[in-house]
Structure 1
């Protein structure tokens, strides 16, 4: 099949993209969504004496993703999160069990709105995509212990597209997002600072990493809250070449 010119492998969106979408919802629904990051249990897979990352995870079928109407989210049974060692040299090959998303988040209008909006702004074709994984993550840092958003370093996640949405950045120094081509040459760097600022990347065409989180000068604790959404097909045999029509 003949290749066609592809879109750039990532997009970096100002907060207005998701702010405008969420403005259609009642303020209480949005606040319940953002406040839910205060109820994330510790990630038990870090292997550190004190936890610095807190996390929940859920999976959804994207109903109607290829149609003209709105996309609905159908929760899938809770399951461990797995990445191959070829894409995650720290935690790859391990079925990591994270706490499920709270029901109010999984069934709430805010998550549905955010996922629909991100799906409409993927940096490439979305044919075949019918599933997403949703990660709520908080990384904390103190003067005695920095936090690591990406302990695996420069990596891929093993999906088609990955959206990275900042929810909160309080008392934080560092946490610079960096994107690389497949030869590990830096192609983009940015520090997400405004709530709902977003990077959406093609995980097959770029690598990514995040520098450590440290407390800002004078802060006793730094907190960085992120929403990550992975988009992929449920059929692993689907053609994953983003350069094909």
Structure 2
């Protein structure tokens, strides 16, 4: 682990979260593996499927989903399966199995995602060295801001995901303002805030300790497409 990674481990251990600037995050990831397919990786957000469950509440976003398992550091993709959260963690859409379009094989097997998965297992594994097996969920999210309609990155509000650790990594941000991440204690006390604006800007979160939310995004120019593309990787003790 490089010096930036070691610093972030200490910060997460101390306060439950860490923001990493894109340049530093990219350098750290490059020390773990390849990122040569980044243009294709970022472009894959153009092929996300709709979120039909959120549409039922009058909201909109696009996404793809995949599950991986890390056992002793060996990472393998699991059979496609639903995403499930209890209502304790998602009051808006809890207690239902939600099936989304799968992450494509090209993305799942590509250098960028494989590097990010190895990084997550190594980084969060250093915070929980007793854990040999992790269940990993990968989410590609696109939040769109439409004319007269803000986009909601976290429509469930300030929340926990019901996992152990979370990586949120900015992929692309176009023609939007706001989208500020806030971190909270259980009693609502705000611990900090930051805005992911550049590719590779990242948040590392101890989901068992802190809550997080993201403010709505609006279009700077309503006549042009506006979106916020992020990768979310969650780890849960296997």
Q: TM-score, normalised by structure 2?
A: 0.86
* Structure 1 residues 14 and 120: CA distance shift in structure 2, 3 A: farther
How far apart, CA to CA, are the structure 2 residues paired with 1:184 and 1:49? 25
Task: Give the number of the structure whose residues are more often helix, by fraction.
Answer: 2
Match of 2:231 in 1: 227
Root mean square deviation, CA, Å? 2.0
Runs of 4+ in 1 over 4 A off after TM superposition: 48-51
Aligned residue number for residue 25 of structure 1 = 34
Gap change, CA 1:42 and 1:227, over 3 Å in 2: same
Separation in 2, partners of 1:50, 1:208 = 22
Relative to its length, the structure with more strand (as a share) is 2
* Partner residue in 2 for 1:10: 17
1: CA distance, partners of 2:34 / 2:194: 29
Looking at structure 2, the residues matched to 208 and 217 of structure 1 have their Cα atoms a distance apart, in angstroms, of 28
C-alpha separation in 2, matches of 1:90 and 1:139: 17
1:240 corresponding residue in structure 2? none
Q: Tell me the distance in 1 between the aligned counterparts of 2:188 and 2:156.
A: 14
Distance apart, 1:50 and its partner CA: 7.4
Decide which of 112, 118, 121 is 1:119's aligned counterpart: 121
**Equivalent residue, structure 1, for 2:95:** 93
Distance 1:174 1:142, change over 3 A: same
Q: TM-score, normalized by length of structure 1?
A: 0.84
Unmatched 5+ residue regions in structure 1? 1-5, 66-71, 235-245
Listed as ranges, the gaps of 5+ residues in structure 2 are 1-12
Q: Please identify, of 193-202 and 116-125, the stretch whose mean Cα deviation from structure 2 is larger.
A: 116-125
**Aligned equivalents of 1:192 and 1:74: distance in 2?**
29
Q: For residues 152 and 166 of structure 2, what CA distance do their matches in structure 1 show?
A: 18
Q: Name the SS of the counterpart of 2:39 in structure 1.
A: helix
